[in-house]
Chains A and B, each alone.
Chain A
Amino acid sequence: MSATSARPSHAAQPSGSAFILKKALISAAVALVLFSLMIGIRTEAGPQGGLIYWTRFGDLAALVGTVFGGSIIIELLRQWWGPIDTDHIVPKPVQAAMSFAGRWLAPALLVFAFLVPVIFYNQRYILDLSILVLTYVMLGWGLNVVVGLAGLLDLGYVAFYAVGAYSYALLATNFGLSFWVCLPLAGILAAFWGVLLGFPVLRLRGDYLAIVTLAFGEIIRLVIINWQSLTGGPNGVSGIPRPTLFGIPLDNSDDGLAAKLGIDFSPTHRIVFLFYLILAMALLTNWVTIRLRRLPIGRAWEALREDEVACRALGINVTTTKLTAFATGAMFGGFAGAFFATRQGFISPESFTFQESALVLAIVVLGGMGSQLGVALAALTMIGGFELFRGFDQYRMLVFGIAMVLLMIWRPRGLIGHRAPTVYLERNQAISSDLVKEGHG
């Protein structure tokens, strides 16, 4: 990463090897100072409780060298590519291919999703991973209602996921209610909490809203940790019942599904069932969102995202618009939470940290905020990418953070999506909605 002050927006950009070298040297010097103590010296609590340290100057030199080389490469790439914000003209055939792919990608993905358990029936790992991906697709679509459609930045979405998960876990373990009874209850409870959060933040905007939702998410998590008599505190809730196929359990008992159908029992049946369950739930989320977008409330959400002041001036009730957005998004989060609880069989507050919220938000942003297909692809990329880094567990969040920063610099509007309103005037549009800051009168 370069660290000197050349302005990409200016036409007369200095170039030449001397400039690149100077820039790389400055970057390397900055890196040397930054990493000198943090990388060069490693501290650890010693056996007697005091601190001990040892030096790692080799690592430091390697890292500074990497920064030096990386800076040269980035600068060369930048000169080759030109300024970031210029539009590069895409050749006609590529455009045609893109639009063809764009038209057929969603149906193709859908068909593929339905076929996943058939193709990968014997690969438990892939099935588990695809269930995880679909959970995040559903969360992403749920949060998309709040962030992508209504333009309300929510950093505490995981709170509703937690409410849903704990609702199902506690109702099922304490009162023996079945999954299918609890699922709507979890959604309703989460929606209720969404409204509860929505009320105080009605007047807030942008960054303030983000921080308050973040605080709300943390409050929910802290209460779950500390209210030990109800939630089990940090130990979580275990022994959460598995879902049944409308009353028929998926185990190898006599009245299990396998026995009823007269086939041999296999634990994979349950996985496949879970897969289709979350696929159905995710598709339901998607369908409801697409339908809502065509209703007055969906139009009001998009109007709110584009300009809150204009929205109010046109007589749209901002209060109910915001509250329904929060409630709808929270409800889907609650559904996903109930699914998560029944799939894991065990939940604890550790699953509902701020990192989860940020991950779901990153999926929505990467997906282009508002594009349903984009969110699905982003969830696939993100969770798949996380799996690739499974071996380097400790570097995972580091890479995630770097990716988030780079993505914002490179494509602030997401990889795929183009966030156009559903309805707009065909002619006489002086400026595109892309150029207007949303929610910012």
Chain B
Amino acid sequence: MDYFAQQLINGLVLGSIYGLIAIGYTMVYGIVGMINFAHGDIFMIGGFIAMISFLVLVSLGLTAIPLILLIVLLVSMVITALYGWTIERIAYRPLRHSFRLAPMLSAIGMSFVLTNFSQVSQGARVKPVPPIVTGGYTLHEGPAGFAVQLSNIQIVVVLATIVLLAVFTWLVSRTRLGRDMRACEQDQTMAALLGVDVDRTISMTFVIGAALAAVAGMMYLLYYGLVDFFMGFVAGIKAFTAAVLGGIGSLPGAMLGGLAIGLIETFWSAYFSVEYKDVAAFSILIVVLIFMPTGLLGRPEVEKV
């Protein structure tokens, strides 16, 4: 039971990270109707920028951990958001009215560019970071000496996710930008006729998605203590699985799917085999698409002739 509780905590934390990435997929799919294949790599770039800015801040002599975390968060969100904006501008916008496969292939190319850009610019080796947020609580001491631990970093990850989700939900449901985004999702031509700047709205979607991915990258860095240039690929596919599981286009669905994937992966590694955890995640993607193509909270897609 203690073991189960511990895995539950670990799974929820992992799921929060997946959920943050999945929101980026689901938003872009909802508005532009394409899978932003490079989104996993944006998450990776976010992790790298967090790592570098953390390193610079520490070597400048800053010691207050909350201040460091806040600055790292802002820097990585801003720069990664600019990456999202640039990618949309260069690789996707010229293809918006091209044939269907073109944006997908362009996104695959962009994903290669980002992966290899960070490999070339920062080297291929794994970058370890010393634990920044340390300490934690022991929730329950088991008889066999197994204790259920809740570390501070896990609390930080979950809290940050909740706060961001609240801000993000407010943004989508209460602001002008959110209304524009929902309008573009329904009908871009009509939205444009009614005075919505479609190009700008789509750009903002990419910016917000990238900023959330940057937070996920930073959380990954804090939680696992390392980044490497290849981490975006697998994390990206898993987050996409989460978005599909939750119902693509649905924001709460993305978070729910993220939590589900995180839990499944953690429990699979804990009770079955660590080696096959990725196989499990990918199999879920296939199974979900076969039996539940609309996901948990998605709307069925209407086929127009």
Q: Which residues of A contact B (CB under 8 A)?
A: 1, 3, 5, 8, 30, 33-34, 36-39, 41-45, 49-51, 53, 84, 153, 155, 200-201, 203-204, 206-208, 210-212, 214-216, 218-219, 222-223, 226, 309, 354-355, 358, 361-362, 365, 394-395, 397-398, 400-405, 407-409, 412-413, 437-441
Contacts and interface: CB of A to CB of B under 8 A. Distances in A.
Contacts of B283: 215, 219
Name which of A42, A208, A309 has the most chain B CB atoms within 10 A of its CB: A208
A395 B278 CA distance: 29
A206 B102 contact: no
Interface of B: 34-35, 45, 48-49, 51-53, 55-56, 59, 75, 79, 82-83, 86, 89-91, 94-95, 98-106, 108-123, 125-130, 199, 233, 237, 240-241, 244, 275-276, 278-279, 282-283, 285-286, 289-290, 293, 303-305
B106 A405 contact: yes
10 contacts: A5-B89, A38-B45, A43-B55, A51-B127, A214-B237, A226-B276, A309-B305, A365-B105, A397-B112, A441-B305
A412 B279 contact: no
Contacts of A8: 94
Contacts of A409: 91, 94-95, 106
A163 B7 CA distance: 36
Contacts of B121: 38-39, 42
User: Which are the 3 A-B pairs with shortest beta-carbon distances?
Assistant: A404-B109, A401-B112, A401-B113
Contact of B128 (A36, A49, A206): A49
A200 B290 contact: yes
A219 B121 CA distance: 30
Contact of A45 (B117, B125, B286, B303): B125
A30 B79 CA distance: 10
Given A34-B79, A218-B278, A401-B110, A44 B105 contact: no
Contact of A34 (B83, B95, B276, B278): B83
Contact of B118 (A38, A218, A405): A38
Contacts of B89: 3, 5
Contacts of B101: 153, 206, 365
A22 to B, nearest CB: 16
A203 B294 CA distance: 12
B119 A405 contact: no
Given A53-B55, A215-B285, 9 more contacts: A3-B89, A34-B79, A204-B289, A211-B285, A215-B282, A222-B279, A354-B233, A405-B106, A413-B99
Contacts of B122: 38, 42-43
Contacts of A211: 35, 237, 240, 244, 285
B285 A412 contact: no
Contacts of B105: 361-362, 365, 404, 408
A412 B102 contact: yes
Contacts of A201: 286, 289-290
B279 A41 contact: no
A395 to B, nearest CB: 6
B82 A30 contact: yes
A226 B79 CA distance: 38
Contacts of B48: 37-38
Given A36-B79, A403-B109, A441-B303, A210 B86 contact: no
A365 B109 CA distance: 12
A358 B112 contact: yes
B211 to A, nearest CB: 14
B100 A440 contact: yes
A43 B34 contact: no
A153 B107 CA distance: 14
Contacts of A408: 91, 95, 98, 102-103, 105-106, 109
B91 A34 contact: no
Contacts of A404: 105-106, 108-109, 112
B109 A219 contact: no
Contacts of A208: 244, 289, 293
Question: Which of A51, A226, A354 has the largest count of B CB atoms less than 10 A from its CB?
Answer: A51
Nearest to B91: A405
Nearest to B199: A5
Contacts of B125: 44-45
Contacts of B114: 401
A215 B99 contact: no
A405 B120 CA distance: 19
B278 A207 contact: no
Nearest to A213: B286
Nearest to B48: A38
Contacts of A30: 82, 86
A43 B278 contact: no
A124 to B, nearest CB: 30
A203 B89 CA distance: 33
Nearest to A439: B100
B104 A153 contact: yes
B79 A402 contact: no
A167 B122 CA distance: 39
B85 to A, nearest CB: 8
Contacts of B75: 37
A38 B305 contact: no
B295 to A, nearest CB: 11
B293 A395 contact: no
Nearest to A392: B120
Contacts of B237: 211, 214-215, 218
A400 B285 CA distance: 28
